[in-house]
Structure 1
Amino acid sequence: MNLPLRNTLGTAWPTLAIMLGASVWGMVWYPLRMLHALGVTGTAASALTSGAGCLFVLLVRRSAIKTVRWHWLLPALALFAGITNLGFVWGAIHGQVMRVLLLFYLTPAWTALFAHFILHERLTWAGAALAALSLAGAMMMLWSPQLGIPVPGSLAEWAGLAAGMAFAMSNVLILKTSRELPGMKAEMRTAVIFGGAAIFGGCASFFEAMPAPPTDTHIGMAVFLVLAIGFVLATNNMLVQYGLARVPANRASIIMLFEIVITALTAWLFAGEVPGPREWAGGACIVLASALSSWVHRAKPAEKADAGKDGNADGNGKNRPRAMV
């Protein structure tokens, strides 16, 4: 195999891994609704599928458990990962999935703020402008003359908004964890995320009214869906980590927006949900802000190289990572 072809394939596989991961996230809402139809609440579905995913990661990557060290960041990461998972799952089950997802994707706004206060990163004009653009998209999508103030119009939409905020916080905490616990394997951070989602979802399930539980004829299908979703999400997470480790962050962020395309397509095919003009316009602003946020620091590799020459590196001789605004 000649060198150019080998380099092309070496780039194509990680890109395909990220695109496949985004596709899975864009379709997972449908089997979750199937679980709800079988009598499994959104909170219980979040707890059970996350628990299955955590167990799968711990079994497959059990040799990495020894890299875990106690730090206050781990329960904090677990908490916000739990809010993320529960908010998205509950919102996707009970709301219009595209509106929930777009509210979830307001991450440029929240990431800019959280990174400023937690990671002490300077809030640039570009970052502030992108945050304003994404928030303007949300206001455009949510505003209507009848409702007045542009705020989420249902509990499901509030859940999607809260999930997006928690997701941004989770990303910031993951970066801070990688700095504070550099010896901890990425798979164990995945296990913490799934474990936190399982515990938080399990606690929340006590406060949600349980519908008629699955009948004897449906219990087998419910168990199969729980295990299948947990396995797919855990495998998908590790697959995306493989891609993210080999694809530049700016390009990876663009590829991950493929999730919105898949969600829109599946919502139309399986749920008959067709966004209106305001949803399209507001969603376009949110997607544009998310896409442009990956280019704010497009000169970062060059800056890191210069920093390395000047000796501005961490104790291990490696430049410290930055949160993406």
Structure 2
Amino acid sequence: MRIEAGSAAMTRTAWPTLAIMLGASVWGLVWYPMRMLAAMGLSGTAASATTSAAACIFVLLLRRRSISTLNWHWLLVALGVAAGVTNIGFVWGAIHGQVMRVLLLFYLTPAWTAIFAHFILKERLTRVDAALSLLSLAGAVAMLWSPELGMPLPADLAEWAGLMGGMGFAMSNVLVVKVTRTLPRLKPEMRTAVIFGGAALLASVVTLFEPMPAPPAAALLPTVTFIVIGLGVVLAANNIIVQIGLARVPANRASIIMLFELVVTALSSWLFAGEVPGAREWAGGGCIVVACVLSAWAHRQGASRASPAPDVSNIAPDIVEHAPESKKKSTRAMV
């Protein structure tokens, strides 16, 4: 009986884990079709705007019955803006910079999340949070510093974009928690629509200020349209699948699983772009990854000292959104 129970428990956690790994894989590969669109004449911000719009429309059509739960609130505007900064920073940085360096700067989330949560969620900034923030920042310094370059700052606009995108990602995670507290009746799919819709609107505005390359040739328009729509549908479906996984996997474990994106990005950037991380990138990236893992472990310890939460493994994702804070997960919508 114990063996059967253990096998059933492993099955319940195996599929959600694979869902999160699938999401991480998609995010680790999405930079390549974005570069394809840029090569065809669609700028980074325009690519972000069109794919996000396609994803938003797909979600609204798929779950149109949930639109009634979408009510006006300033937090939704803030979430949309933060998602827009996230998407623009990642897409523009990945198109114009070295993918792995941009993504490592993007993953400085322990530092930014601790700061934003302190001011927005009124969470006390503990010594552990401060130490992990410093560790992740030390990783960035190790990656960026060299005697020739001087100050350990991002070397170009693409790396600055990756850094800003990571700050937007951390802000999005904090605002998701704030939204679930303030608007508990908001359906998860509507939150996804807000994220993609906000990204599409902000990217459309920024596109007006970006120097535009030559527009796609008429012969390439069907291909560009196909990639944009296909990428939007894939990203929207991927976001929904990952939300299902996040509803059934402990938050600390999910944070570690999502680091699989770094592995996929490293392999894809090596295979498709010939980018090989150097010793400084490995050292700095190691510090950032360790900070993320320790951050997940520290939050797990804090949750274990709190009152035990009920088992939510068999509860639908929209119900899990109303669970205690220790069980809530952050949502990521990329490009």
TM range, normalised to the smaller chain? over 0.9
Deviation at 1:70, TM superposition (A): 1.6
Deviation at 1:321, TM superposition (A): 4.3
Kept in 2, the 8 Å contact 1:115–1:323? The answer is: no
Tell me if 1:233 matches 2:235.
Answer: yes
Which among 102, 109, 130 is matched to residue 107 of structure 1? 109
Which among 24, 32, 35 is matched to residue 34 of structure 2? 32
CA distance in 1, matches of 2:324, 2:9: 25
CA distance in 1, matches of 2:77, 2:38: 29
Kept in 2, the 8 Å contact 1:50–1:197? The answer is: yes
Kept in 1, the 8 Å contact 2:303–2:326? The answer is: no
Letter in 2 for 1:77: L
Letter in 1 for 2:209: F
CA distance in 2, matches of 1:291, 1:297: 10
C-alpha RMSD over aligned residues? 1.9
Tell me if 1:319 matches 2:321.
Answer: no
Structure 2 CA distance for partners of 1:324 and 1:50, relative to 1, 3 Å? closer
**Unpaired runs of at least 5, structure 1:** 309-316
> 5 Å matches for 1:157-176?
157-176=159-178
> 5 Å matches for 1:1-325?
2-305=4-307, 319-321=324-326
Deviation at 1:180, TM superposition (A): 0.1
CA distance in 1, matches of 2:281, 2:137: 13
Residue in 2 that maps onto 1:312: none
Structure 2 CA distance for partners of 1:123 and 1:164, relative to 1, 3 Å? same
Kept in 1, the 8 Å contact 2:31–2:95? The answer is: yes
Kept in 2, the 8 Å contact 1:57–1:191? The answer is: yes
CA deviation vs aligned residue, 1:234-283 (integer Å, no higher than 9, x gap)? 00100100000000011111100000000000000000000110011001
CA distance in 2, matches of 1:122, 1:251: 23
CA distance in 2, matches of 1:322, 1:2: 26
Kept in 2, the 8 Å contact 1:15–1:247? The answer is: yes
Kept in 2, the 8 Å contact 1:293–1:324? The answer is: no
SS in structure 1 opposite 2:141?
Answer: helix
Kept in 1, the 8 Å contact 2:93–2:158? The answer is: yes
Letter in 2 for 1:29: W
Deviation at 1:4, TM superposition (A): 3.6
CA distance in 1, matches of 2:223, 2:162: 27
CA distance in 1, matches of 2:108, 2:41: 31
CA distance in 1, matches of 2:329, 2:180: 15
**Unpaired runs of at least 5, structure 2:** 311-321, 331-335
Kept in 2, the 8 Å contact 1:107–1:164? The answer is: yes
Structure 2 CA distance for partners of 1:5 and 1:131, relative to 1, 3 Å? same
Structure 2 CA distance for partners of 1:135 and 1:322, relative to 1, 3 Å? farther
Between the two proteins, what is the percent identity of the paired residues? 64
TM-score, with structure 1 as normaliser: 0.94
Letter in 2 for 1:246: R
CA distance in 2, matches of 1:53, 1:5: 37
SS in structure 2 opposite 1:145?
Answer: coil
Count matched residues: 317
Structure 2 CA distance for partners of 1:2 and 1:71, relative to 1, 3 Å? same
CA distance in 1, matches of 2:186, 2:95: 34
Kept in 2, the 8 Å contact 1:112–1:123? The answer is: yes
Letter in 2 for 1:278: R
Deviation at 1:114, TM superposition (A): 0.4
Letter in 1 for 2:97: G
Kept in 2, the 8 Å contact 1:294–1:324? The answer is: no
